[in-house]
Amino acid sequence: MTNLIDTRLGQYHITEIIRRGGMSMVYKAYQDSLDRFVAVKVLSSHRDPQFAARFKREARAIAALQHHNILPVYDFGEQGDLLFLVLQYVENGTSLADMLGQPMRPGTALRLTSHVLDALDYAHKRGVIHRDIKPANVLMPSPSWPMLADFGIAKLMNDNQQRLTLANQIIGTAAYMAPEQATGRAIDARTDLYAAGVVLYELVTGRVPFDSDTPMAVLTKHVYDPPPPASSLNPDLSPMIEALLDRALAKEPAARFQTAAEMSAELSRTATLLDQQQQQSRSRMTGLYEVGLEAFQQGRYDEAVERLGKVVAFDPDYEDAHELLDAARDARERAKLEAKQHIEQLNQASPAPAAAPAPDKPKPVGLATIRLPRIDEPTPAQPVAQPAQPVAQPAQPVAQPAQPAAPATRPLDDRPGPLPAAQPDPPTAPAQPAARGRGVLVAWLIAGAVIAALVIALVVLLRDRGAGRVPAGAQIVVQAAAARPRGP
């Protein structure tokens, strides 16, 4: 086809090429009268007057389609052997074909296809069948706004017996062709629905259901082979979407959706159900994200990495979770490195531990030297009933009665008065724990012996009093008590 850049078609000044095709070429052009840019689709050269007449009829029918998902036709014309359509210019020049390559989110794919089906339903009700549904014919003014283009062009080419003779065009459309269209049988609106099903399959899996080296091999697969399960290419697909695809890609038109409105409604319903499931899962993931955030803030980096990893695995587009997961991984590695360095510094700089000081040795408890009479020791015969004893003579000193020879140590009953306290032992060096324990044990044994001796002395005293005898020591105590001066 002749290059038309810097030429004019009617009132349209051609400025650049937008897209090349087997049957046509699309240019960007400037319309002086309305001061705007438009898209001009120029068909292949022709010399058939009947074809030109059919083109004009189709152009008028297409221009009558006014739907927000159909690319508007502004004008059409003929110049020499060239026929052209004037269409709305889409500023960014993006088509659905530019969004392929990776599986699309199921909800997005369902809604985009549903919008295309809305456009088809509008056209079908007005007797217009598209015949060439494919991603390249779906323009995208915005990511969520598809506009279907090229209505009726395929019919013109078929009627002119040019479509199946242009091998490069078959290569471009064979992947989306319904079995009845591939075999030359009668077509209707359900043929467009099959092609829309192929587009949906490609959006959710990233590839078309049938592919081969030649267009005829692809057409043969459309006629005879079942499409590979979409879940085999995208395991995350819902069974609901697989059921939709199975019905849309049925070999027989009677087994497919019967109208574009029916298929669009089913796709919208499925998208809503998936959104509800997604929202429930997102709520759970939000809770999991918050747990991961709390773990990160508290320094529990292993837990944070585990929780956030589950969030991004479920929702790869959760940007906050991705960022926090990266931060948690970095913090975990830094914490491990810092702990390792700290341990190494301690091992290099820590001195040997000092020996614990020995506990002080307790001082021994001082004990009085006590002598107790034996039970069988005789006591001096001192009858209690003699009134002429020093008890009746208060002037006589208490300390002058005849006393037996004093023993080497002061006995308990030798004379009244306080016992001298035993002098404490000189301080000794601190004992070891074992020696300290032995000292305490000895002190307790001595104290027990003293208590036992006192008990024995008390028993002897009580016995002698019962027999009429009072030991000398006790008698002295009685005399001293009698000799104590009394008040008036």
The residues assigned a catalytic role are 132
Q: Which residues pair with 30 in a beta bridge?
A: 13, 37
Q: DSSP labels for 117-158?
A: HHHHHHHHTTT-------GGGEEEEETTEEEE--TTHHHHHH
Q: Which two three-digit tokens encode residue 404?
A: 């037996």
Q: Which two tokens stand for residue 179?
A: 């079995």
Q: Tell me if residue 78 falls in helix, strand or coil.
A: strand
Nearest to 14 by CA among 27, 26, 1: 27
Distance CA 193, CA 186 (A): 15
Q: Of 51, 142, 161, give the one whose Cα is nearest residue 93.
A: 142
Phi (first) and psi of residue 126, to 5 degrees = -110, 15
SS3 377: coil
Task: Give dist(CA 114, CA 148) in Å, integer.
Answer: 12
- 24 neighbors 162 (Cβ within 8 angstroms): no
Q: How far apart are CA 59 and CA 153, in angstroms?
A: 9
* H-helix segments, 36-128: 49-63, 106-124
User: Taking the CA of residue 33 as centre, how many other CA atoms within 13 Å lie in the half-sphere pointing to its CB?
Assistant: 3
